[in-house]
Structure 1
């Protein structure tokens, strides 16, 4: 993800994505007594898929009587990892490869199992990851069908020497999975990098209207198929495996909390995550409502 998903223009933008959730939403719900030690603050990054996953985690915990509060749309890892470290949030859905790359820019793990095995040693003290799901959402460099044909683009390396404009989240300017990585791994330099959002409405609009030639769009984004866009192959594995995984404060990872979240991971797949994102992005359903449907249909509520 590595460590990130997308929305239509009518979806909310960078600091307020999530189909209607307010930035830094601190709403609290209590569906049961729970123990004081089981009170959990669930956070999310600032894009719709992560908000959806946070709502799923929150709902699964509430179903087990855990008191839950939510702080949604916090921002990028630069914003929420410190929150996990200082205890202002306890739990957040993450993407294994991008998380590892963020924590250790020298990490070489690529496969799902390798990345997951490397995470514990890279995590800040006091944090842990629970079971990872098979659901994967990777950053993919995406171009329109016309651009792919014009420049004969099949893989990222084919962009070398083409003088193209790249669009992506602001952090891509310096992250190893962004602009520096394209130069290091493929020798690709761009005419310009435009700071947009994390695979959200700004990115989708820029690719549609030709403001950028290539963009970071998440692999579960239904707008890729809807628009007939082309995702470029990544033979050098700039983007490692990006399995969805809960990252949590160790002190809050009780047996009951861990079991509830691991049950969610056991049911999450790339297919059902992509389907749910279609409901959020294309059908304009609220992430909280889609989360409830997922939990109910999978016996988790």
Structure 2
């Protein structure tokens, strides 16, 4: 996917000074390395431009381990994130699971350099996903049902899944799902096409795929329930450097978040990853217009 505004270097962070400017009207919006993040970042960029902000973008940066330091250093100023995973990144000991508890804990964990505005109602959680054939074969309904088959399970997920609290450590602790190191298949596409293909081709028996992925319905995949809340609440939330915080920025981001429901996330993802294969920037522009966010927020 083409990088916009800041060139097309293989490293989106290779340009720019990383110096926090005092101009709160000028922002660089970033994204992680999967389509939903890029699309939501483009949504933020479109809405902010409509409200008089000067916006550059640095998209497809990588995982949280790459982009959080970039926000702290102002290599980027703003990026969409997810409340539960962001909390667990900032506080490895965090145990909050519900939306309210995660929000309260996140506020405390942000520190002096990071800030968020109001989370969107839209939620996109990690999930352990299997094919219908595997679910039928082993009578799977919840993640715990997969645990007795640990020795026979290869699991695909982003590389960081090995160390994250909600990743392999959490699956073992909460459900007894013990994936051997040799059976973990790292795929760095955020649960995207390569991960889905590994699952549907039978190269793995389970995969970490986001719940708003249109690939779940398209491939008749089964999301295993998570009754012990291994994966915390994951509402979309704008994360930004406190040097860029302003009432105007918060007002625009809150207006976007209010419209960004789970159904709208799925709609955006379907436009980008479904049959039409709309570019994220085009899908974002269409969505912003449809939601009336292409005009200054009152």
TM-score of the superposed pair, with normalisation by structure 2: 0.89
1:150-207 deviations in whole A, cap 9, x for unaligned?
Answer: 1111111111131211110011111111111111111111251110121012101100
Question: Secondary structure, in 3 states, of the residue corresponding to 2:97?
Answer: coil
Aligned counterpart in structure 1 of residue 160 of structure 2, from 171, 179, 182? 171
1:287 paired to 2:280: yes
Which aligned runs of 4 or more in structure 1 are off by greater than 4 angstroms?
21-26
1:298 corresponds to which residue? 291
Give me the CA root mean square deviation. 1.9
Question: Secondary structure, in 3 states, of the residue corresponding to 2:165?
Answer: coil
Question: Secondary structure, in 3 states, of the residue corresponding to 2:156?
Answer: strand
1:122 paired to 2:109: yes
Question: Secondary structure, in 3 states, of the residue corresponding to 1:158?
Answer: helix
How many Å separate the matches in 2 of 1:221 and 1:251?
Answer: 33
CA distance 1:266–1:116, shift in 2 (3 Å): same
User: Is the Cα contact below 8 Å between 1:135 and 1:271 reproduced in 2?
Assistant: yes
How many Å separate the matches in 2 of 1:215 and 1:50?
Answer: 19
1:186-235 deviations in whole A, cap 9, x for unaligned?
Answer: 11112511101210121011001000000011101111111111100101
1:233-256 deviations in whole A, cap 9, x for unaligned?
Answer: 101100011000001111212111
Aligned counterpart in structure 1 of residue 199 of structure 2, from 197, 200, 207? 207
1:196 corresponds to which residue? 187
Cα displacement (A) at 1:24: 4.7
User: Is the Cα contact below 8 Å between 2:174 and 2:228 reproduced in 1?
Assistant: yes
1:49-81 deviations in whole A, cap 9, x for unaligned?
Answer: 000000000111100111011110110011001
User: Is the Cα contact below 8 Å between 1:161 and 1:189 reproduced in 2?
Assistant: no
1:251 corresponds to which residue? 243
1:272 paired to 2:256: no
Q: How does 1:217-228 map to 2 (within 5 A)?
A: 217-228=209-220
Question: Secondary structure, in 3 states, of the residue corresponding to 1:161?
Answer: helix
1:237 corresponds to which residue? 229
User: Is the Cα contact below 8 Å between 2:122 and 2:263 reproduced in 1?
Assistant: yes
1:54 corresponds to which residue? 41
How many Å separate the matches in 2 of 1:131 and 1:255?
Answer: 13
Q: Larger deviation: 243-252 or 190-199?
A: 190-199
Q: Larger deviation: 59-68 or 120-129?
A: 120-129
Flag structure 2 segments of 5+ consecutive residues without an equivalent: 14-21
TM-score of the superposed pair, with normalisation by structure 1: 0.88
How many Å separate the matches in 1 of 2:246 and 2:3?
Answer: 30
Question: Secondary structure, in 3 states, of the residue corresponding to 2:209?
Answer: strand
Cα displacement (A) at 1:260: 0.8
Flag structure 1 segments of 5+ consecutive residues without an equivalent: 1-11, 27-34
1:185 corresponds to which residue? 174
